[in-house]
Chains A and B, each alone.
Chain A
Amino acid sequence: MPKDSGIGASPKRREDQRFLTGNGNYTDDINLRGQAYVHFLRSDVAHGRITSIDTTAASAMPGVVRIFTGDDFEGVGGIPCGWQITDKHGEVMQEPAHPVLAQGKVRYVGDAIAAVVAETADQARDAAEAIELDIEELPAVINMKEAVKEGATKVHDDLTSNLCYDWGFVEENKPAVEEAFANAAHVTTLELVNNRLIANPMEPRVAVGDFNRSTGDSTLYTTSQNPHVIRLLMGAFVLGIPEHKLRVIAPDVGGGFGTKIFHYAEEAFCTFAAKALNRAVKWTSSRSEAFITDAHGRDHVSTIQLALDADNNFTALRTDTYANMGAYLSTFAPSVPTWLHGTLMAGNYKTPLIYVNVKAVFTNTVPVDAYRGAGRPEATYQLERVVDKAARELGVDPIALRRQNFITEFPYATPVAVEYDTGDYNATMDKLEEIADLKGFAARRAASEAKGKGRGLGVNCYIEACGIAPSNLVGQLGARAGLYESATVRVNATGGLVVMTGSHSHGQGHETSFPQVIADMIGIDESMVEIVHGDTANTPMGMGTYGSRSLAVGGSAMVRATEKIIAKAKKIAAHLMEAAEADIELKDGAFSVAGTDKSVAWGDVTLAAYVPHNYPLEDIEPGLEETAFYDPANFTYPSGAYACEVELDPETGKVSIERFAAADDFGNIVNPMIVDGQVHGGIGQGIGQALLEAAIYNEDGQLLSASYMDYAMPRADDLPFYQVDHSCQTPCTHNPLGVKGCGEAGAIGSPPAVVNAVVDALQSMGKDITHVDMPLSPARVWTAMNE
């Protein structure tokens, strides 16, 4: 029987009531008294020198309050990068300045040159059009391999080249890897592109800066996944506002997928301008603006090689990747192709020797940073495609080849610096074979072929490192921040709880799932627990939500704080019942003395904490409120196996997804309904990457796919119903909930399944095609078939 409350149940989401009735409170719904509006004048060329900006006529336009340019930000800090990579020679990465408004040069289409603040948004836009601007256009640097050639035009004149870093991992392994390749019975090589994507949360970014002239405090309302991180980065590095004078609020946020992690110039501008003008300043991104200012994702060009011995055991793996950074380093950009990618190259396999090289490159394009999965999809895609290609070359069953090389004993230390605590890759593969009905594939293929269509089956595995991250480890790897999480649990006199968490929910349903955990621990009704998040003024310092970390790290902090609450409440209960503390048990919301019928209700204890008339004041303080910071001991390692079946129309090259199945191991599950929803959404985005989506720049640096007319977002009729299962559970061994995280799995595991399936279909149709780069649009597939 499914449970109806607590851990493992699927209560209806409490946030839905406001979202379904139009009562959500998104940042663009916030309007402050006296608010002005800003419109940014943005570069329409990819690379150029600003020779003049004349704002005279624009300043005289109706409603204009003030026009800001780069000159107004001299002496103001630049947008900081939160991660520093050390390259294979022991040198730190090249790190360019990143001004709030362009200073001297523009470096991508969308780079902000001037900011017009006016009484209305329309007036600000009208005046921006009246700014007279002269830009001397320079050659655009777009192609990564061209960008790092000797003599290439430099994106940043003060750097030595366009190479941000040349990273080797693990550099000491390289000779042994080379030797293994020299001795291999078989080597499979694959060149592939991990297509550049745009996250496209449905809510565009918004920032409202406010300044309180009475207190001198600044407040920023922003569409962020991590308000404390924005407060720290913006306060300490850009504007010089101490954290106690700066409040950042991220209210209801309409999806993030990574792109709302980062600190953006518009946030700093609105906060800065609100103080300068002594009035609130609001910016609402249009979707067109979002395409050219939200950090993009992926954009890797890789060559991967797998070495096998005569028995088809994997003996070594090496991969060379060019990773696009765009024009500036976004908050976590340097970590994505390195520590979130290189460390995952072992995948589910016991390959003993691995070497990863990554060249990160500056180009005249929008900055690139984490997008759902961030590095792990790029690793998984390379690995699962090359394994599939190897199976085809060797004439062996791709599932059998995978199983033969699976890691089966845990903990397992990979040759790429991480240690998997638990997993059972055969179990998820078994489950996949069952739910995907792989036995029935041959009949389904025959049915497709009878209609004149091709049909393909693609299977793959994935592993990801989630629950980001152990602070001491990431510190050694170049992180400039800790990655713990926090929670304050405040118990009120009448027994209700408020949990203030540093995690942030922007679709994940924390307001529903987090109370399930607390209610279970105490034995009270979930409705007695309220979750507060998204406001630096009333939550403890937290690192926010990304990297599938909320429950594994934030939830663990919440558990630790609740354990402290229970420990103190037991002392109070012992006093009230005149019993020994060691004999007190908490069950179903009541404290009892073991072996007796003495009992006192949860509410009586909480009341005593705040009305301490009969209370052990000599031992403990009144009140019942505790804070915990939780820093994980390791990453968590969700894993799984995915299967995709496609039908391919040879006349048009159109691929349709006929079946999609996912068997995931997320460890313990708190809310199965929400977990399913997370997997569905991830698969939707992964299929989008595989079949539809691509951010395409032309050689002049113009983004050609800069609206929903041109960037193919997955729509309802592009996608099937998905078969998902998470009954295989090997709990995480190092966090108190045994949870691993589920937010990114779908986006990591699905692209290789789709591409493997399409290649399988093409092969079954007699085409000797071993790879087609994503997105597998009808044009690309048709061209591959008819070349």
Chain B
Amino acid sequence: MTKVSMTVNGKPASGEAEGRTLLSSFLREELELTGTHVGCDTSQCGACVVHVNGVAVKSCTMLAIEAEGAEVATIEGQAAADGTLNTVQQAFQDHHGLQCGFCTPGMVMSATALLKDNPKPSEQEIREYLEGNLCRCTGYHNIVKAIMAASGQDVSAIAAE
């Protein structure tokens, strides 16, 4: 076991990790940040996406010890302290961009990373960017719509709410 320290959602955090411990497991089991979900074991589903030093990363593809000293942002750090949702989160609620909620943390973190690099993505750019995030509930319709809305685009012409 090795002691690993990092900054998570702006606060110092540390815990014990084996060499093989994945960042996703470390966040969930050691730091008890269970908002980051694990939906597969082949780095395909994207439910575990977090930001490491400002970059979207599937936390199951990274060892915990590789995040030593890093700035990590997870879904738990996205809303204001009083629970007020940020723009992306609010758009997901407003446009029913989630159902069971399991893929949602990864979707929100991916969408946030996309909008940082591309503030007004087209529908196609959003769909292509989400290639690494699987959702089984929504058929993606309302997720794509929510992300367009979060970027300030008028989505009223897109088929029914």
Contacts of A57 in B (CB 8 A): none
Given contacts A709-B42, A717-B130, contact A506 B92 (CB under 8 A): no
What's the nearest-Cβ distance from chain A to residue B64, in Å? 13
Of the A-B pairs whose beta carbons lie under 8 Å apart in the complex, a sample of 27, sorted by A's number, is A12-B93, A13-B93, A13-B96, A21-B79, A22-B76, A24-B102, A26-B102, A29-B34, A122-B20, A201-B102, A202-B37, A252-B101, A255-B102, A506-B100, A676-B160, A680-B142, A682-B139, A684-B136, A684-B138, A715-B127, A716-B133, A717-B131, A719-B127, A719-B140, A721-B123, A722-B159, A725-B160
Q: How far is the CB of B143 from chain A (nearest CB, A)?
A: 7
Give the docked Cα–Cα distance between A722 and B36 (Å): 30
- Cβ contacts under 8 Å, A724 to chain B: 159-160
CB contacts (< 8 Å) of A122 on chain B: these are 18, 20
Binding site for A on B (CB under 8 A): 18, 20, 28-29, 33-42, 44-45, 47, 74-76, 78-79, 83, 85, 89, 92-94, 96, 98-105, 108, 123-124, 126-128, 130-131, 133-145, 158-161
Q: Chain A's nearest CB lies how many Å from the CB of B26? A: 13
Quote the shortest CB–CB distance from A733 to chain B (angstroms). Answer: 27
- Please state if B39 and A287 are interface contacts (CB–CB under 8 Å): yes
Contact in complex: B161, A287 (CB < 8 Å)? no
Chain B residues lying within 8 Å of A77, measured Cβ to Cβ, are: none
Known pairs A17-B85, A20-B93, A509-B99; A677 contacts B142 (CB<8 A): yes
Q: Bound complex: CA of A585 vs CA of B142, how far in Å?
A: 42
Minimum distance in angstroms from A437 CB to a CB of chain B: 12
Q: Is the CB of B139 within 8 A of A713?
A: no
Which residues of A are interface residues toward B (Cβ below 8 A)?
10, 12-13, 15-24, 26, 28-29, 31, 122, 200-204, 252-255, 257, 286-288, 506-509, 672-674, 676-677, 680-685, 687, 707-709, 713-717, 719, 721-725, 746
Look across to chain A and name the residue whose beta carbon is closest to the beta carbon of B85.
A20
Given A10-B161, A719-B139, A202-B98 contact (CB < 8 Å): no
Q: Which of A21, A122, A200 has the most CB of B within 10 A?
A: A21
Are B47 and A202 in touch, CB under 8 angstroms? yes
List residues of chain B with CB within 8 A of the CB of A672.
160-161
Tell me whether A683 and B93 are in contact (CB under 8 A). Answer: no
From A20, A257, A746, contact of B104 by CB (8 A):
A20
Q: CA separation between A200 and B139, bound complex, in Å?
A: 13
Residues of A within 8 A of B159 (CB): 721-724
A119 to chain B, nearest CB (A): 13
Determine if B138 and A681 form an interchain contact, defined as CB atoms under 8 angstroms apart: yes
Question: In the bound complex, what is the Cα–Cα distance between A576 and B35 (angstroms)?
Answer: 50
Would B44 and A709 count as touching, CB distance under 8 A? yes
* Residues on A with beta carbons closer than 8 Å to the beta carbon of B36: 22
Residues B85 and A201 in contact, CB atoms below 8 Å apart = no
Q: Are B40 and A707 in contact (CB under 8 A)?
A: yes
Looking at the assembled complex, report how far the CB atom of A28 sits from the nearest CB atom of chain B, in whole angstroms: 8
Among residues of A, the one whose C-beta sits closest to the C-beta of B92 is A20
Q: With A and B bound together, what is the CA distance between A17 and B133 in angstroms?
A: 21
Partner of A22, one of B75, B92, B131, B158: B75
Q: Which of A677, A709, A723 contacts B138 (CB 8 A)?
A: A677
Q: Which residue of A lies closest to B76 (CB)?
A: A22
B30 to chain A, nearest CB (A): 12
Tell me which of B18, B41, B93, B139 contacts A16 (CB under 8 A).
B93
Q: A255-B136, A708-B134 are in contact. Are A22 and B33 (CB under 8 A)?
A: yes
Q: Which of chain B's residues have a CB closer than 8 A to the CB of A713?
A: 44, 134, 136
- Complex Cα–Cα for A200 and B76 (A): 25
A202 touches B103 (CB 8 A): yes
B136 near A200 with CB under 8 A, answer yes
Q: Which residues of A contact B123 (CB under 8 A)?
A: 721
Q: Which residue of A lies closest to B140 (CB)?
A: A716
Knowing A22-B74, A288-B41, A708-B44, the reply to whether A716 touches B102 (Cβ < 8 A) is no
A203 to B44, CA, bound (A): 13
Given A202-B47, A680-B141, verify A20-B96 contact (CB < 8 Å). no
Q: Flag if B130 contacts A507 (CB, 8 Å).
A: no
Instruction: From A29, A31, A680, A684, name the one whose CB has the most chain B CB atoms within 10 angstroms.
Output: A680
Given contacts A21-B78, A202-B135, A677-B138, contact A507 B42 (CB under 8 A): no
What B residues does A685 contact at CB under 8 A?
Answer: 136, 139
- Asked if B134 and A201 make an inter-chain contact with CB atoms under 8 angstroms apart, the answer reads no
Question: How far is it, in angstroms, between the C-alpha of A202 and the C-alpha of B138 when the chains are bound?
Answer: 12
User: Are B89 and A202 in touch, CB under 8 angstroms?
Assistant: no
**Residue from B20, B39, B85 with most neighbouring chain A CB atoms (10 Å):** B39
6 tightest Cβ-Cβ pairs between the two chains A and B:
A22-B35, A684-B139, A19-B101, A254-B102, A507-B100, A708-B44
Contacts A683-B139, A708-B44 given; does A676 touch B161 at CB 8 Å: yes
CB-CB < 8 A to A725: which residues of B? 160
* Chain B neighbourhood of A22, CB < 8 A: 33-36, 74-76, 78, 105
Cα distance A714–B78 in the bound complex, in angstroms: 28
Do the beta carbons of B99 and A202 come within 8 Å of each other? no
**Once bound together, how far apart are the Cα atoms of A684 and B44, in whole Å?**
18
Known: A15-B101, A202-B47, A202-B100. A286 touches B41 (CB 8 A): yes
A18 to B89, CA, bound (A): 11
CA distance A463 to B69 in the complex (A): 58
| A29-B34, A506-B100, A683-B139 known; A721+B144 contact, CB < 8 A | yes
A41 to B40, CA, bound (A): 19
Bound CA–CA A20/B74 (angstroms): 11
Q: Do A715 and B101 touch across chains, with their CB atoms under 8 A apart? A: no
Q: Tell whether, in the assembled complex, residue B35 and residue A677 are in contact, meaning their CB atoms are under 8 Å apart.
A: no
Contact of A21 among B35, B38, B124, B135 (CB under 8 A): B35
| Pair A680/B138 contact, Cβ less than 8 Å | yes
Chain A nearest Cβ from B111, distance in angstroms: 11
B141 touches A721 (CB 8 A): yes
CB B105 to nearest CB in A, in angstroms, measures: 6
Which residues on the B side are within 8 Å of A677 (C-beta)?
96, 99, 137-138, 142
